[in-house]
Amino acid sequence: MTRARVLAALLAAGICASAASAFADSMGNSMPMQGRYGGPVYTGAPALSVTASLVAAGGGAAHYSTATALVSMLGASTVDAEVGKLQKQYGKDAVTAWLQTFDFAVTDALKHATAAGVVLPAPDPSLTGTKLASTLVSAGTASDHTFQIEFLLDKAVSHDIHVAVMDDIDNNPSLGKHDDLMYHTISNQAFYDVAQALGDKSVQLASLH
């Protein structure tokens, strides 16, 4: 059976019916190995309805924007303040490149999923705004309470597709390995900041930030 058919069978069996809880389960199906940029590796089935909710928050697959998704989840004033904070921390150019790389990563992941025969389900109507943001933070928080963007991306699109996307970023002449590193670096900081803004003080900052 092909990988796409296995995914389809799993989804048909009802995995997506409890997608939010499965997505936020940082222990299930994780392997005792590290991702390329840190954090544990998750090899379970992705929670595609939650991924679909993130894509919808960003304007849809054809016009996905990370900036739009962040505003949809957190509000313009919170996002503006966070972007300003990140620009002071990393520089304006680095933050611009981070958003561009994030946009590319989501779009590229969807292309890989489509090529594998995976179709996103409808977005979960209950996952919008701060609830979606909180779910994403929980999903990316490892057992040591640190947020790791690699852990989140494994759960969003599968470990194999996540690795393929990183390779595509590295090999893209408009991006490259430095942008890939900074994408993970700034994402770890940004999602940690989101957790703090949402009042989740248990989330810790990854060493890569």
Q: What is the mean pLDDT of residues 179-201?
A: 96
Instruction: Quick: pLDDT tens for 102-145.
Output: 999 999 999 999 998 888 899 999 999 999 999 999 999 999 99
Instruction: Quick: pLDDT tens for 11-53.
Output: 333 333 334 444 444 434 434 468 888 889 999 889 898 899 9
What is the reported pLDDT for 33?
65
What is the reported pLDDT for 66?
96
Largest CA distance in the chain: 50
What is the reported pLDDT for 198?
93
Percentages helix, strand, coil for the chain (3-state, rounded to 5) are 65, 5, 30
pTM of model > 0.85: no
Q: How far apart are CA 106 and CA 175, in angstroms?
A: 14
Q: What is the mean pLDDT of residues 63-80?
A: 96
Beta bridge partners of 41: 31
Q: How far apart are CA 66 and CA 196, in angstroms?
A: 19
Instruction: Give the least confident one: 3-17, 64-78, 91-105.
Output: 3-17
Could you state, in order of their start, the residue ranges of all structural domains in the chain?
3-197
Task: Judge whether residue 199 has pLDDT over 50.
Answer: yes
What is the reported pLDDT for 203?
96
Between 117 and 3, residue with greater pLDDT: 117
Q: pLDDT band at residue 163, thresholds of 50, 70 and 90?
A: very high
User: In angstroms, what CA-CA distances link 100 with 86, 162, 164?
Assistant: 15, 17, 18
Mean pLDDT estimate for the chain: 86
What is the reported pLDDT for 1?
44
Q: What is the mean pLDDT of residues 186-195?
A: 97
At 161, list the tokens. 């597709």
